[in-house]
A = this chain, B = another copy of it.
């Protein structure tokens, strides 16, 4: 259950996992670089973690969710085929389309369901209430964003790296020393609404984090 302290791969703590799953349920699928940054910083409070771990987690989780659904669907299809051995062409096609549509469900699930906690769209990561003004849920979530102090010299050091994310690049030296956690002073920064009030305006003022807008 515990990770051997110096493992070759990241092994999420229960808290980290919980939060990630919450985010996923909340609709996050392919966080972009700054989102990853923020999530990483946030989760690093609960244990060692790097940006790539967050990235891969979402990547894998989405893919496996999809594949799970796909398997379920194909199984259903098999059952159906056993009942109605052969169908006219057109109906078959409709079925295909139906399934294809269902798979797209995973791209961003219907917001109306039960995602009480996280309310940001994946494009901006800014607080975003349920568009219809839903969710009075208060969360008190703070995001700790790591402000890199003057980092001169040596491009190298330990540059564990890999890139990927959504929407834009940001190669960025990962100078988090992979060490324990919460090592440096972090600038705390509110990204989530304490209450769901006065948020309509915020969307104009808080351009703190680059919002390339429409992720589609």
Interface residues of A (CB under 8 A from B): 32-34, 36-37, 50-52, 55, 145-153, 155-165, 167-174, 208-210
A151–B157 alpha-carbon span in the complex (Å): 17
Query: Which of chain B's residues has its CB closest to A50's CB?
Result: B169
**A33 close to B150 (CB less than 8 A):** no
Within the complex, the shortest CB–CB distance from A121 to chain B, in Å, comes to: 18
Complex formed: what's the CA distance from A167 to B82 in Å?
47
Residues of B within 8 A of A159 (CB): 33-34, 168-170, 172, 210
In the assembled complex, which residues on chain B have CB atoms less than 8 Å from the CB atom of A147?
152-153, 155
Partner of A168, one of B37, B161, B172: B161
Chain B nearest CB, measured from A167 CB (Å) = 8
Q: Which residues of the other chain, B, contact A162 by a CB distance below 8 angstroms? A: 33, 163-165, 167-171
